Each structure stands twice: as structure tokens, then as C-alpha cells.
Amino acid sequence: MDRFIKQNALDTENYKWMAPSPWTGRMDGSDDVRLHQRIRLVDMASEWESEERQAVLLGFGCEEGVRRNQGRVGAAEGPKALRKAMASMAWHFDSDFQLLDAGDVFCDGEKLEVAQQALADHLDMILTKKALPIVLGGGHETAWGSYLGLRQAYGSAAKIGILNIDAHFDLRLPEKGPNSGTPFWQMADWCQQQGADFDYCCLGINPAGNTSSLFDRARELNVDFITTDELGRSPKEVILQRLKAFIERQDYLYLTIDLDAFDAAFAPGVSAPASLGLSPQMVLPWLELIAASGKLSLCDLCELNPTYDLDQRTAKLGASLLYRILMHWQ
């Protein structure tokens, strides 16, 4: 049986642990090792031995925020597709690096807020082990659960820099409840209530996809943003220096990647495909800088929608981005 479910004692209703079938496969020669041969499954209901260089995959099988935001549903299957795309990648990691898989948090029906809290609780547990959590989304409502987990682990006094690679600010007001377009407003609101710093940088903003009121809100909240137009005409070194300045003032970094930031030629399988979006090669130097900074504490990748993916193009892009992050972080 290549898939089984265990209930987790922390949240039996919203967390399930599974052995993902992509992590099983044949063994090649001793020098021909792939991820599926080295990854180790862990059960969040029991203790596992914590090592210094551990990264932990945690899925968030949720699309309720996308549905509320009237987007194309299907992101709940994102974690499965990302694992499948990662499974056959070659193992080029250091001997003391460990990659673990802690299974998936699921959203039960429309209980988005409950699922986000469950995600936060499990991230808190991973962070206390000094491991790097990699969350496989899920719609971009994933980001609120991720941020909550960081704050539960590090508290309101910590300087947490939020780096979002995204075509959208996602600063909408939750007038009819939280959704995939509200997570960064929720972070700002939480920080205001807790007296914490809200330091948010967004790379890849598409002017055509964000209304004037969203730009106004971003300026009111002192969001550091760079539009696709600015990225296209600015030298790479200028962008990297701006990013370095942001990183230097933080204690911890939270990186969230919304795949709809990328041009639809590279990422057709998302809720809101982009025209004139980012190219992967443009983003790779940013990821190297962030991952090698020593401050990256959590990363999530969101909005993969396998229903609309062509040739697993978006899943492979997402998996490749995560692979690069892990290579530079280890």
C-alpha cells in the first residue's frame, strides 16, 4: 500500500499524514541518487531526531481561499503535483543535509480559518526543531497560515521580513471573509494589533492586475514593491542591492512565491495566468541571495493548479525553484 493516513494528535480533524507515492522508486547506482531515494517521512504526532541541516516539506491542500476569491479552483492538488515533479531530481546535497516530508494539512470543506491555524501550529512545531519548513500550497491563503506559524514560534518582537514574489499585492480587505487575496492585509492588521513591525517587499507586481486602491494601500503600509515594468528596465545588480538592503534589516525572512507571478508561457497552471509576467531566469539570483543569507526561516510556494497545467510545466517550474532554494540554503 503506497498511501496511508494517520491522524495527528494535535489536530485530528485538519491534519493527515501520508506516505506520498512519488517518494517510492527503484534504486540506481550508489552515485545515481535522486530525491525520492533520500527523503525521509516523519509523523508530526511523534518525535523525530532533530539535526542542524534539516528541511521539512509540509503540504497545504487547500483552495477555499481561491474559491472565495472567485478564482479557478484546483490548487488543493498542488502539493501532490509538486512532490511528483521533485521526486526524480538528482541528489546534489551535502552529506549532512536531510530532507523530510511531514505530510499534508487539509482544509475540511469551507473551514479555511481552521485549516490555516492547523498549518500555523504544525509550522510552529517544525520551527522549534530549528528546521527549515517548505510549505507546498495550496492557494495563496497559505501565506496567512505560514505567517501565523512564524509569529507563534518567534513572537511579536521579532523582525520578520516578508518577501513575496507575486503579480498581486494580496492586500484586499476581507469584507466577506479572508481569501487568497487578503493574507498580507491580515499580516498588516495583526502587526498593528500586536505592536509588531510589518515589513513587506513584493517583487513582480503587475500594474494591470492591481487597482489604484491597492497601490494606495501598499503605499500607506510602506510596502516596498517593484513592478514588472521596473524589473524589466532595471539592471540586475540594482534589484539585488535593493533586496540586500531589505534582508539586512531583518532577523528572519519569510519567502512566499505565488506562481502566477510568472508568465503564462512558464506557468499556465495557476488560478490567474499572467501575460507579461516574470521569467524564471530573472528570479534565480533573488532566490540564491535569499537562501544563502542565513536568515531564511520559512518558504512556501502557492497557486499551482494541476487542473490547468500543460505538460506539468508549472509543477516542474515550482519544483525547480524549490530545488534551487534548498541547494543554496543547505
Grid cell listed for 176:
466577506
- Residue 198 pLDDT: 98
Q: Which residues contact 135 (CB under 8 A, 6 or more apart)?
A: 58, 59, 60, 119, 123, 142, 146, 298, 299, 300, 301
What is the percent of the chain with per-residue pLDDT over 70, rounded to a whole number? 92
pTM of the full predicted structure?
0.93
Residues of the chain with pLDDT under 50: 1-14, 19
For the chain, what is the domain count?
Answer: 1
The CATH number given to whatever domain includes residue 278 is: 3.40.800.10
Range of the domain at 31: 5-329
Task: Please say whether the beta carbons of 124 and 70 come within 8 A.
Answer: no
- Residue 10 pLDDT: 38
pLDDT tens, residue by residue, 263-302: 999 999 999 998 899 999 999 999 999 999 999 999 999 9
Q: Where are the beta strands (DSSP E) in 64-127?
A: 98-106
pLDDT tens, residue by residue, 162-186: 999 999 999 999 988 999 999 999 9
